[in-house]
Structure 1
Amino acid sequence: MSSEVHTANPPAVGILRPEINDALVRRDRLIPHDGLSTWVEHYWTVAWELDGPGFVSEVVSHPSVHVTVESGDRPRFGYPMPAGLVHGVITRRFSQEIAGRGRVFGVKFRPGGFGAFTGADVGTWTDRVLPLSAAFGDSSAALVRDVLEAGPDDDRASLMDAFLLDRVPARDKRYDEVLAIVRDIQGDPTLTTVELAARRHAMSERTLQRLFRRYVGVGPKWVLQRARLHDAVDRIDSGRVTDLASLALELGWFDQAHFTRDFTALVGQSPAAYAARR
């Protein structure tokens, strides 16, 4: 069963303007069964009850596929509620209106984990939201029903544990390679090029790109840049940035102008403007 470990204020890496989300939305995080840790990073929950117009939640998304069971008083992602959904990797800024009432129980798979778990070529699902049945067939209907009927998040986590544990695949050595490379990219800010990543892991750039497209759903260059942008947003949000030019160079941009262009294209405002809101 789940270890039922909660984080009252889970890390907000990737959530833009997290102070707004934390004021209006209840967030939590739960640890899945140990037997799923190879593929699943964590479970997450959000819930809200808002009067008035609500707000738009924006996220600089991670290279992960998410499975969600959602309910609420209005459609989301073009689907009537309640629904079980699979969210492919989102390459743009992820925006979703949060209004009325809603609740979501989500599964965040590790980068490449969903492809290894299901055998799906997740590159075909990038930037798409699909019914859960696209991944798990008719059995998804019973899972959605059971999760929706369960009250506490701990009970929902236990149901998801059981569902996924029944479907654990054989170990995939190629996925192990992909996961090791992704962890290296995310954990080492000095790793800034696909060439360097391929050389460090003793494979050709072409092989690296093919593996990422199949398992992660996006190329290694995208994962590299997104990891560094996550680093930038996190440091700005935590107040650890005093010089944006130095930050740009430290995270691998050629100069501050290139960093500002990439940051603005994704976040919707310049690094200076985003930092100034604090």
Structure 2
Amino acid sequence: MSYKVEILTPSPIYDPYIEYYKNVITDAEGTFKCVPNTSEELYFNFKKCKLYSNNHYVLDDPKVYFAGLHPYEQEAFARLGNDVSGGFVIVFRPNGIQNLFGLSNSELFGYAIDGKTIFRSFAEEIWLSLKESDDIHLKKAKVESFLLSYVKCGRSPNTLLNYILELIKKENGILSTAEISRQFNISTRSLERKFRNYIGLSPKEFLQITRLNHALELIQNQQNFSLTRISYLSGYYDQSHFIKDIEKICGFPPGALKRDVQPQEHCDNRNFLKLS
């Protein structure tokens, strides 16, 4: 199983909304459990797939779709076909989708939604245009041309929130809400309200998801590290709490992941658990 990922940064006018673009080609197939993360994304998908989350959504072979943030305990799955293909993905800055397209957090939170609901017939047109090109730079140019009208009407991002999120990313989520409040001179109540309004998650849950994804990357990439060391490097001082959180979000204990009893896949900023 392999992934080829190319990364491009956005042009300056799109930088307030978009963190980067990625072009993915993979031969991955089967059913995967998707680990929640802190990135909202817009996919132009060229690979056969089915996306589903019980009582939330089912998308069969979507060509264009938005992936919103998922709550910590919500299970989401992807069933990939056996074709060698992939897609072109826009990885947004936190709240970038809302600022650019005017979508509310309630519309995306916990869901993946078909791009046709937002772009109508233009979704098919841009999808076909991107599918015809193998060059990531040309794909970027086509996407940015398509997004220009949205940028002209877009809202300015919340600067304070961006500084807070940059710190969380830099520290791999190994912070407390009290530390953030102190550093940015903001009350814990205001911090909670800002995250709920702009992100959809509480700051505590956002930190927890960030920490757990960091832990999963350590489990996969640092095979010589003990679970005790990984739990400490992930901000846990109680190993039993660390094990409980990994089991809760993955369905498997970290020991099973470390021994490859349950294969773990990592593609750029996302972690997946192969189920079948």
Q: Which residue of 1 aligns with 2:107?
A: 124
Corresponding residue to 1:95 among 73, 77, 94: 77
Q: Does 1:172 align with 2:139?
A: no
Q: Which protein is richer in strand relative to its size?
A: 2
Q: Which amino acid aligns with 2:81?
A: A
Aligned length: 252
Alpha-carbon distance change, 260 to 216 in structure 1, aligned in 2, over 3 angstroms: same
Q: Does 1:150 align with 2:133?
A: yes
Mean alpha-carbon deviation: is it higher for 239-248 or for 228-237?
A: 239-248
Mean alpha-carbon deviation: is it higher for 140-149 or for 213-222?
A: 140-149
- Which one has more relative contact order, counting CA pairs under 8 Å at least 6 apart? 2
Q: Which residue of 2 aligns with 1:35?
A: 13
Aligned partners of 1:176 and 1:59: how far apart in 2? 30
Contact kept? 1:115, 1:214, Cα under 8 Å: no
Mean alpha-carbon deviation: is it higher for 252-261 or for 163-172?
A: 163-172
- Per-residue CA deviation, residues 59-82 of structure 1 (Å, 9 max, x unaligned), is 433212111112345655534445
Q: In the TM superposition, what is the alpha-carbon distance from 1:181 to its structure 2 partner? A: 0.9
Unaligned runs of 5+ in 2: 53-57, 264-276
Aligned partners of 1:190 and 1:209: how far apart in 2? 16
Q: Which amino acid aligns with 1:36?
A: Y
Aligned partners of 2:123 and 2:50: how far apart in 1? 19
User: RMSD value over aligned CA atoms?
Assistant: 2.8
Alpha-carbon distance change, 75 to 265 in structure 1, aligned in 2, over 3 angstroms: closer
Q: In the TM superposition, what is the alpha-carbon distance from 1:204 to its structure 2 partner? A: 2.0
Q: What TM-score, normalized by structure 2, do the two folds share?
A: 0.78
- Per-residue CA deviation, residues 159-209 of structure 1 (Å, 9 max, x unaligned), is 112122332155625x22212111111212584322222222222222222
Q: What TM-score, normalized by structure 1, do the two folds share?
A: 0.78
Partner SS, residue 46 of structure 2: strand
Aligned partners of 1:254 and 1:75: how far apart in 2? 39
Corresponding residue to 1:86 among 50, 66, 74: 66
Q: Does 1:248 align with 2:226?
A: no
What is the correspondence of 1:1-278 to structure 2 with a 5 Å cutoff?
23-48=1-26, 54-73=29-48, 75-77=50-52, 78-81=58-61, 83-91=63-71, 92=74, 94-101=76-83, 102-136=85-119, 139-168=122-151, 169=153, 172=156, 175-189=158-172, 191-239=174-222, 242-277=225-260
Partner SS, residue 167 of structure 1: helix
What fraction of aligned residue pairs are identical, expressed as a percent? 20
